[in-house]
Amino acid sequence: MDAVNNFLLFLDGFLGSSPWFPYFLLSVGIFFTVYLKFPQVRYFKHAINVARGKYDTPQALGDTSHIQALSTALSGTIGTGNISGVALALHLGGPAALFWMWMTAFFGMTTKFVEVTMSHKYREITDDGSVAGGPMYYMEKGLNAKWLAIIFAIATVLSAFGTGNLPQINSIAAGMEATFSIEPVVTGGVLSVLLALVIIGGIKRIARVATAIVPTMAVIYLVGAIAVIIPNMENIIPSFIAIFSNAFNGSAAAGGFLGASFAYAMNYGVNRGLFSNEAGQGSAPIAHAAARSEEPADEGMVSILEPFIDTIVICTLTGLVILSSGVWKEKYENDFQRADMTFIAGQYSDTNEADANQLLRYLSGEGGSVVPYSGDIVLSNGRAQNTDVFTLINSRSVAEDIVYRRDGNEITSTVSVTQGRLDDVDIAVTGKSLLHSVPLTTKAFTHGLFGDYGQYIVSIGLLLFAFSTAIAWSYYGNRAVIYLFGPAAVLPYRIVYVTSFFYAAFADTTIIWNISLITIVLMTVPNLVGILLLSREMKQTANDYWERIQHRS
């Protein structure tokens, strides 16, 4: 698994974590925002009216209403990214990361408007009578680029697993185990059966389930978040100050948090923002293509609301809960995952400014004097005796109160480390370190009016959020499979999708997230290239639509 994780990190270094990607994603959003004269602002009220059904034409072609299409798309975007992804972004980039999530959402509102409009415009009817659409259809029919459509469709199938499947159930299982002590294999088994029952019914059943789940989960989560923010109200303004003041110079060290450079905060803020709202990824257009409407821009208007609801509202709530409660910079007792651990040579302390700066350079990949440790650890009753020759870093923080166990028993012997990794993969390590992903958000929700009961809100919210995302993404992958191989490939795809969902419940969290980083980029890049090539057509489509709407009014 170490080799797999290292390979994933190697690939990600050229893709999502490379400097070019966040700039490319933001640049496309900024270009269309200026080119189309800020549609996310000008059309926002109109978008609400369209979603409410004010401009509905019941006889129009399609399988779902505007609100059902929006709910389906939101169920695909409002998922673990809103709970786990925000926590991971803040863990990696500090408060500044939230600013870049906002920027991704604001400009992403326009990107989503464009990709949904174009995909809806070039949708078609399949052999079974249902409506199919998405970027692969505008690439083939609008750009005459079948090759690009095939690349995008393949990336969609991969991302159905990397974005909508693996990280969703992995986060659910982690939350259910932490809160209710339910074994991940049980969670995976039960939800895999439920997932299979829902996705067999196709888009109409998926839309009905999404329409029921999305409002419920939003209300539950909103109540829980406010219950944390109220008693920590005095920290809200300082949190906003930290978000904006650090946006262009990185996040400063605080408590156990070693700090983050501007590039690191921006990179992970943009990447986690994309994972959350998927603006530019090309996924939501597949759901919106099924909406009943003769006006492609009508559905594009509705999609403007998605990044706003998903990131600017829900992700902001999560971010303020984590920042105002202070848990993002505190160390807590937890089980260390192998992919999160690295042993470095020498003794370092995060309370020493010089040490903290060296560690930050090492963790940010900027080199320096810090090197991985290779050698022995002498253990007695699970505690290291030669702590002067190495330091254990877990979750980007200096670990404390560390205990080593094998088969549940504290170890008294010598164990070996090679290039920062324990040679024996069966050794379990626990101690105090920073938290990230679901455990961080769960801890934050216990610092409110509900006390320890707040963790149940996270678990229930995560269950609903992530499960609905897995449902929506099963449909996205389904349509891509049909595009590539025809309807006969749907059943094998569904079997693999459900099976993977089960196994990911007990897989390594860090590896799961690294897979998601790669698959998102593989899907996003061809979509962004495609909509850029259709920019003139998009502008004409939007202008013609708005003229008709004004005459109708």
The predicted structure's pLDDT at residue 203 = 60
CA 478 to chain centre: 21
- Distance (Å, rounded) from C-alpha 497 to C-alpha 186? 18
DSSP E strands in 71-199: the ranges are 124-125, 131-132
Question: Is there a contact between 249 and 262 (Cβ–Cβ < 8 Å)?
Answer: yes
Ramachandran bin of 126, using left for φ above 0, alpha for ψ from -120 to 50, beta for the remaining angles? beta
The predicted structure's pLDDT at residue 535 = 94
What pLDDT, in 10s, does the model give residues 188-236?
999 999 888 888 766 666 667 766 777 777 788 888 999 999 999 999 9
pTM for this one?
A: 0.85
What pLDDT, in 10s, does the model give residues 330-348?
999 999 988 889 999 999 9
| Domains of the chain as residue ranges with CATH | 2-42+77-330+444-545 (1.20.1740), 332-433 (no CATH)
The predicted structure's pLDDT at residue 552 = 63
The predicted structure's pLDDT at residue 345 = 95
Residue 191 parent element (H or E): helix 184-199
In single-letter form, the type of residue at position 516 comes to: S
Q: Which of 529, 518, 520, 434 is nearest to 476 (CA)?
A: 520
**Within 13 Å of residue 420, how many CA atoms lie on the same side as its CB?**
17
Give me the chain's average pLDDT, please.
87
What pLDDT, in 10s, does the model give residues 120-173?
899 887 776 677 788 999 999 999 999 999 999 999 998 998 888 888 888 888
The predicted structure's pLDDT at residue 250 = 84
In single-letter form, the type of residue at position 416 comes to: S
The predicted structure's pLDDT at residue 320 = 95
Is pLDDT above 70 for 62? no
- Distance (Å, rounded) from C-alpha 27 to C-alpha 536? 17
Q: For a pLDDT cut of 70, what percent of the chain falls above it? A: 90
pLDDT category at 72 given cuts 50, 70, 90 is: low
Is pLDDT above 70 for 453? yes
- Distance (Å, rounded) from C-alpha 183 to C-alpha 160? 25
- Distance (Å, rounded) from C-alpha 405 to C-alpha 403? 7
Question: Contacts by 198-204 with C-beta closer than 8 Å and gap 24+?
Answer: 198/471, 199/471, 199/474, 199/475, 199/478, 199/494, 199/497, 199/498, 200/494, 202/130, 202/475, 203/63, 203/64, 203/72, 203/130, 203/287, 203/290, 203/475, 204/63, 204/64
What pLDDT, in 10s, does the model give residues 281-310?
898 888 888 777 778 888 888 889 989 988
Per-residue DSSP letters for 354-387? HHHHHHHHHHTT---S--B--EEEEEETTEES-T
**Within 13 Å of residue 117, how many CA atoms lie on the same side as its CB?**
28
The burial class, CB within 10 Å (0-12 / 13-18 / 19+), for 537 is middle
Least confidently predicted of 118-127, 303-312, 445-454, 479-488:
118-127
Least confidently predicted of 39-53, 425-439, 485-499:
39-53
Nearby residues of 207 by Cβ (< 8 Å), 6 or more positions away: 63, 64, 68, 69, 71, 72, 290
Taking the CB of residue 404, how many other CB atoms lie within 10 A of it?
Answer: 24
- Distance (Å, rounded) from C-alpha 545 to C-alpha 377? 69
Cα dihedral across residues 114, 118, 120, 126: positive or negative: negative
- Distance (Å, rounded) from C-alpha 348 to C-alpha 230? 37
- Distance (Å, rounded) from C-alpha 272 to C-alpha 278? 9
Most confident of 75-79, 206-210, 262-266, 389-393: 389-393
- Distance (Å, rounded) from C-alpha 189 to C-alpha 187? 5
